[in-house]
Chains A and B, each alone.
Chain A
Amino acid sequence: MNDLHAVLWIARKDLLQEARSKAVTVATVFFSAVTLGVLAFAFGENPLLMREGAMGALWVALAFAGVISAAQSWQADLEDGALEALLAWPVPRAAVYLGKLLANWGLMTVLGFVLLPLAGGLYGADVGGGGEVPAALVVAVLLATIAAGTLGFALIAVFYAGLTANLRARESLLPVLMFPVVVPILLAAVRASNALVGSGDLDLAWAWLRLLVGFDLVYAVVCLALFRFVVEA
């Protein structure tokens, strides 16, 4: 069969389930909002600290929400032997991974786009850059940074969530396993975002964004090559 169709069918299946259960949406939006609120409270009334910490807080909220999203993405597959049935079909394992990745990345990216203005407003940070560079360009690069960062995060999260899906201690093992690997993604994403917000330093942001995309490519190749060992007997 056309492997691209398999990818789209699996992504569609995951998104359809999420649209009906709203399990990931409710949990991640609530958790992210609480995280942003608590960190804003912790930074106190120092405007400079608030502005400089805005993007860090955004990515902390996205990272923890991403763990919830990834763990949930395999939950439905484990019920009633659905994953067992899926893997008994002649579906390329890469298509299974890419389908789940597409759904997970889509949800995280939308969450990131929603949280960006929320973080900007809550922390008093100018997401338009506030400098000489046109605000639209700064926002566009910021959205690209969120898309690239959530892609890198989802690449790792879906891979490790699949690896731990059949383990009893999966909820505790998943963050322990994935966070050390995902740190370069988070650091690059935070640096690129910080360079844009407030100062609108496009050159610095591009440098970090290129590094971020490089990490994405490396992780994509590695995860695609190894995923079949995750789900095969």
Chain B
Amino acid sequence: MEPAVTRSAPAGAGAPAGAGAPAGAGASTGAGVPPAIELRGLVHGYGGPPVLAGIDLDVAVGRVVALHGPNGAGKTTLLRLLATRLRPVRGHARVLGHDVVRQAHEVRARVATLPVYGGAYGALSGRENLRLGVALRGGGEDAAAVDRALERVGLTAAADHLVRAYSSGMRKRLALARLTLADAPVWLLDEPYAALDEQGQALVDALLAAARDDGRTVLVASHDLPRSLATADAVVEIAGGHLRVMARPTRARGATAAVRGDAAIDGDAPTGGDPPAGAEA
């Protein structure tokens, strides 16, 4: 049986109106609230052995889950599946009750992504890229919000420079600004710490903390295990096409206590809050 991590929703964090509990998720949710992210028997590959070989996972609303694994393990594939940029070969994935294949547009309206590459247009300025993102997400032309986002990520001075002149760290900061402007209930972050300096990495930590406070659900693919242990409610490893719970941080925090209390771990996953060997490295 594939491992599954199941957690209850925090108080005040709700599912979208009309989102009923999807089939198969009822037993794994605490108060009848469907999970924010639900994967069932998810299989995907690129012609060879499947990268994802039947993954089951529930992530409750309002939780931050870190996704670890070696290069090529399928972290980005999983995020792209959830962002509707790939279709599963078998199984299904739901985001806030919406199927990523049949209800792709509804999923996109509820998900904000931080791609591993910046995802910005080089011939536009940072400000123009953000305005484009806000407009295409239906946010109109909120110039003040764009200014605030630029200031938050430390790009005010470079806001009107063309992105092609940005360093990779500045591009990542711009992508973080676009993420915050999206105001989506689910964030999918692919290597958010990559290319960032210490200050930028602290900014990501602060954004994750703010996301948790705002009741957002966050799935973070990262190689930075110590940071994941410090910021996430749960750490999950993906390897060999399967998921297993690596660690559930034991920080004294209400949310963490709820995770620990409601967690159900199947299969060969380690139990309790003990990180795997080497997790502290």
Contact = CB atoms under 8 A, between A and B. Distances in A.
The finding on whether chains A and B are genuine partners in a shared complex, rather than unrelated, reads yes
Interface string A68-84: 00000000110111101
A10 B133 CA distance: 10
A13 B118 contact: no
B243 to A, nearest CB: 21
B123 A21 contact: yes
Interface stretch (B107-115, B151-159, B258-266): B107-115
A170 B174 CA distance: 30
A76 B164 CA distance: 11
B204 to A, nearest CB: 18
A87 interface: yes
Most buried by B among A76, A88, A92: A88
A80 B120 contact: yes
A80 B108 contact: no
A5 B135 contact: yes
B169 interface: no
Given A20-B123, A81-B117, 6 more contacts: A5-B135, A17-B123, A80-B122, A84-B115, A85-B178, A86-B136
B116 interface: yes
A88 B132 contact: no
Contacts of A84: 85, 115, 117, 119
Nearest to A16: B124
B124 A13 contact: yes
Most buried by B among A10, A21, A85: A85
10 tightest A-B CB contacts, nearest first: A85-B119, A1-B138, A81-B117, A17-B123, A90-B109, A90-B108, A233-B86, A81-B119, A88-B113, A233-B87
Nearest to B118: A80
Given A21-B123, A81-B119, A82-B119, A89 B137 contact: yes
B120 A85 contact: yes
Interface of B: 80, 83-87, 104-105, 108-109, 111, 113, 115-124, 128, 132-133, 135-138, 162-163, 171, 175, 178
Contacts of A80: 117-122, 163, 171
Contacts of A79: 121-122
Contacts of A16: 123-124, 128
A26 B138 CA distance: 34
Contacts of B135: 1, 5-6, 9
A15 to B, nearest CB: 11
A82 B164 CA distance: 12
A225 B84 CA distance: 19
B121 A88 contact: no
Given A81-B115, A82-B119, A88-B111, A233 B124 contact: no
B102 to A, nearest CB: 12
A34 interface: no
A20 B117 contact: no
Contact of B105 (A5, A17, A82, A90): A90
Given A1-B136, A233-B86, A82 B123 contact: no
Nearest to A13: B132
Nearest to A77: B121
Contacts of A5: 135
B86 A76 contact: no
B94 to A, nearest CB: 16
A90 B137 contact: yes
Nearest to B82: A88
Contacts of A6: 135-136
A231 B133 CA distance: 18
A27 interface: no
A85 B128 contact: no
Most buried by B among A13, A17, A76, A232: A13
